[in-house]
Amino acid sequence: MKSIRPYILAENNWKTVKETDYELAILPWGATEAHNYHLPYGTDVIEANEVAAEAARLAWEKGVKVTVLPAIPFGVNTGQFDVKLDMNMNPSTQLMVLRDVVDVLNRNGIYKLVILNSHGGNDFKTMIRELGLQFPKMFLCSCNWYQAVDQKEFFVHKDDHAGEMETSVIMHLTPHLVRPLEEAGDGAAKKFRMTGIREGWAWAERKWTQVTKDTGVGDPRQASAEKGKKYFEAATQKVSTFFVEVARANNNDLYA
């Protein structure tokens, strides 16, 4: 029988919550979208929840009173408007949702929030700037868990979307949701013709169905659950260290 995890808000009751002085809140934020032919639409949400939970567990064991909020399952998918049931949440909507979450935390005296991002289309920088003016007591930050450790140390091919890394992680976390790799597309993707965008100093949104034929960007065919386990453990350890640093930081003395 599983026990209640004290660092997961949704699993706890009011008696426990009202008696716990939380130092840090974690908001996992994913997306619901196609991930090639072999991974589930909820890949980013699964990753966000599992990474947040494991990193929070490690932080809790170090004495940090952290609480993981329920994940937001919809991300910015404006470039995938023509992919069936890719659920889009506009950045302006994300800002309104985030503002309400921050307002609750601020009123309850929890002045630190980490947005644990699991979707490349989400970008919280401008939202954090705006909300920082409205809630000056709050320390607001975001982190992309999938950038915490170097993929090259674990995988043959760098992953962008539904490639070797994500496939390996989902094979480790929820293998029953992964279709046979023989059914997966190769994840080949076209690149912009414009030099500035190809070099990375200019940017434009990708029109997904013009870029990839199988909705994947990255070759998944050398993925394995063993690789996913090693990568997940390394990433969650790194993310946990960040949680601890944020929790123990003085909001009025953040710079060295």
Instruction: Report the predicted TM-score, pTM, of the whole model to 2 decimal places.
Output: 0.97
Domain ranges across the chain: 9-151+175-184+225-248
Mean of pLDDT over the chain: 97
Give the Cα-Cα-Cα angle 47, 22, 144 (nearest 5 degrees).
Answer: 30
Examine the pLDDT at 6 and tell me if it is beyond 90.
yes
In the CATH scheme, what architecture does the domain 9-151+175-184+225-248 have?
Answer: 3-Layer(aba) Sandwich (3.40)
- Residue 219 CA to residue 217 CA, distance in Å, equals 7
Examine the pLDDT at 185 and tell me if it is beyond 90.
yes
From start to end of 79-217, where are the E strands? 112-117, 139-144
* pLDDT grade for 52, boundaries at 50, 70 and 90: very high
Residue 114 to residues 30, 54, 176, 233: CA-CA distances in angstroms?
14, 15, 30, 19
Mean predicted confidence (pLDDT) in 25-36: 98
Strand partners, 112: 139
Widest Cα–Cα separation across the chain? 58
Give the Cα-Cα-Cα angle 131, 132, 133 (nearest 5 degrees).
Answer: 90
Residues near 97 by beta carbon (within 8 Å), at least 6 away in sequence = 72, 89
Percent of the chain having pLDDT more than 70?
100
Determine the pLDDT at residue 177. 98
Mean predicted confidence (pLDDT) in 186-212: 97
- Residue 54 CA to residue 51 CA, distance in Å, equals 5
Residue 194 to residues 8, 78, 121: CA-CA distances in angstroms?
45, 21, 21
Examine the pLDDT at 1 and tell me if it is beyond 90.
no
pLDDT tens digits, residue range 112-163?
Answer: 999 999 999 999 999 999 999 999 999 999 999 999 999 999 999 999 999 9
Residues near 12 by beta carbon (within 8 Å), at least 6 away in sequence = 4, 6
Determine the pLDDT at residue 179. 98
Number of other residues whose CB lies within 10 A of the CB of residue 239:
25
Backbone φ/ψ region at 233: left (φ over 0), alpha (ψ -120 to 50), beta: alpha
Given a contact cutoff of 8 angstroms between Cβ atoms, the answer to whether 35 and 80 are in contact is: no
* pLDDT grade for 2, boundaries at 50, 70 and 90: confident
Mean predicted confidence (pLDDT) in 47-52: 98
- Terminal alpha carbon distance of the chain: 46
- Residue 228 CA to residue 217 CA, distance in Å, equals 18
